[in-house]
Structure 1
Amino acid sequence: MRWIFLCCCVLYAWPRWVLACELRVQVSDFPPYSYQKDGEWRGSRVVLSQRLAQKLNCGVRFYDVPWARALVLLQQGDLDLMFNLTPTPAREAFLWFSRPHHLERLAFATTMTDPQWQQLQDLSKLAEFPGIIALTQGSYMGQPMMELLQQSKFRQKTLEVAERRVKNELVLKDRAQGLVEDLDYLKFAITNFPEYQQLTITPLRLSQTKVSAGFSKNSVLFKQKQQLVQAIAELDAEGLWFSELP
């Protein structure tokens, strides 16, 4: 009887053991999505990771990795997940994209005091911008902007860096005079960090797209793709997957 009882216990525990895993998630200093406070990662993407990990019966570990480097690690299978990604054919070669989790709006901000640039609305006018424009390497900024970047004259006005923090510091230290950045991040930073108050968010919006979580097709976790699909569907049905900040 004891042997039968033990066998039953093992069989009951088997599915939970099979699903035991660790969800490796890219994060960075990117409030309100991810940021550190009291030695812990917090923010909406951190909460979303924890919800997903719980559905999968996984632990979760956060890796502070720059945007461009994270894409390389995802391609190698050394990271499982990265949020706020726009699906592109190049990325789909090594990433599986979830249903959208957020409406991302990319804006242009500047330290220029000339009203002509503070009130910039037309992307074509950006080609005449008199300063340097800082960009995040590997970021998709909407098709019109990507086409503009193909023009060598405009490309000379831009400076691409791998890490968002470094990109923003270039502008704050006047080594660049404009930048493309997530609108919600800019609003948060200007409200909470005094040094960002020198920035003006222009009316120009480069893109407004629903972004998704990208899962590495080369990671161990992706072998549980069906469980991923089901977990995200359940979170979405519960109203816990898609979020849009005011």
Structure 2
Amino acid sequence: MTAWRLLPCMVVMLVLFAGGMQTGQAEPISDCSRPLLVRASETYSPFSMKDENGFAVGIDNVFISKVLKSLGCDIRFMFMPWKRSLYAVKHGDVDILPSASYTEERAKYGLFSVPYRNDVIGFVVRNGDAGRIGLSSLDDVIAQNLVIGHVRSAYRGEAFEEFKNSPEGSKHVSDVSVGPHGLQLLLANRVDLLLGIPAAYVAQAEQQGLGSTVEEHPFILAREPVRLMFSAKTIAPELARKISEAIWKETKTAEYKKIYGNQGVDLN
């Protein structure tokens, strides 16, 4: 964990009022003429977490820091819930949103880097339920009258988008605000399946002192490439391209392959 220590979020409010909110009203920047404000999650282990000292840590934050610093960019991390961070990117109050999937709706107000890793999307269940609940498709959720917990506004692939927006599928989806809340609902038998990155949820449960109360379900819903999403109000296409080129270079290193393993991307 020591190697994951990054910049503290002590100056976030100062950045918001002295930089972030004002930059939303200025011209998009094409270089690193000011610090870039990057959204971070407090609980998305092992990708992004807040440590006991208030620092943004996790392998995504380490990777992003290395990429941006290779371009001479200074950065500041801001902890923010996912749904609010999409609003902040749209309105120019946050410059960069990591772990973002490309969608046509988001492309209306944001720019995207090349992928920097893959999300393996599936479910966690209560310990012992992985063998009891048989899944081969989302139709089995309806057939068994199960309820899926889903972090509000998180994109989990087109198959799930169609499912949750369908008249029948929507009855089997319960939105939650953040991952830890979803774990609480799962363990309280309020939902049967928690959708997301299974390995991340298992790690979160351990960090919350819940031990081996949850387990990964073997069904894999999708593999989704994730990117850095840039606010079109604050980041010019030229800077977005420079950052993409820096990501491409970093994915070729041995350190990248060691950190991300089978979640890494192979960019030609």
State whether residues 95 and 230 of structure 2, in contact with CA within 8 Å, keep that contact through their aligned partners in structure 1. yes
Q: Secondary structure at the match of 2:44?
A: coil
Q: Which amino acid aligns with 1:23?
A: L
Q: One-letter code of the match for 1:207? A: A
Q: In the aligned structure 2, how far is the partner of 1:32 from the partner of 1:115?
A: 22
Q: Runs of 4+ in structure 1 displaced over 6 angstroms? A: none
Find out whether 1:163 has 2:178 as its counterpart: yes
> What is the CA deviation profile of residues 89-144 of structure 1, one whole-angstrom value per residue up to 9, with x for unaligned ones?
11111121111111111111222855664443332201234343210111222222
Unaligned runs of 5+ in 1: 1-17
CA 1:236/1:116 → structure 2, altered by over 3 Å: closer, same or farther?
Answer: closer
**Structure 1 residue 83, shift from structure 2 partner:** 1.5
Task: Out of 69-78 and 195-204, give the one that drifted further.
Answer: 195-204
Query: Could you tell which deviates more after superposition, 54-63 or 187-196?
Result: 187-196
Cα root mean square deviation, aligned: 2.6
Bigger-Rg structure (1/2): 1
1:140 corresponds to which letter in structure 2?
Answer: Y
Q: CA deviation at 1:23?
A: 1.6
Letter in 2 for 1:120: L
For the residues of structure 1 that align with 2:211 and 2:94, how far apart are their CA atoms? 31
**Which moved further from structure 2: 109-118 or 20-29?**
109-118
Percent of matched pairs sharing the same residue? 19
2:12 matched to which residue of 1? none
Matches within 5 A, 1:6-21: 19-21=32-34
Deviates more, 1:128-137 or 1:85-94: 128-137
What amino acid maps onto 2:126 in structure 1?
T
How far 1:190 sits from its partner (Å)? 5.1
Provide the residue aligned with 1:72 in structure 2: 87
Partner of residue 9, structure 1? none
Aligned to 1:180: 195
Which residue of 63, 86, 102 corresponds with 2:78?
Answer: 63
Q: Where does the alignment leave 5 or more consecutive residues of structure 2 unmatched?
A: 1-30, 263-268
State the partner residue of 1:26: 39
Q: Which residue is equivalent to 1:87?
A: 102
Contact 1:23 1:221 in 2 (8 A): no
Pair 1:35 & 2:49 matched:
yes
Distance 1:113-1:220 versus aligned 2 partners, 3 A rule: closer
1:151 and 2:166 aligned? yes
Change (3 A) 1:153 1:226: closer
Q: Secondary structure at the match of 2:65?
A: helix
Taking the aligned partners of 2:127 and 2:254, their CA distance within structure 1 comes to 41
Cα separation, 2, equivalents of 1:115 and 1:48? 33
| CA separation of 1:68 and 1:204: change in aligned 2, threshold 3 A | same
Which has the larger displacement, 174-183 or 73-82? 174-183
Residue in structure 2 matched with residue 142 of structure 1 by the alignment: 157
**TM-score, normalised relative to structure 1:** 0.80
Residues 1:129 and 1:141: Cα distance change in structure 2 (over 3 Å): farther
Give aligned pairs, total: 229
Matched position secondary structure for 2:190? coil
CA distance in 2, matches of 1:239, 1:115: 35
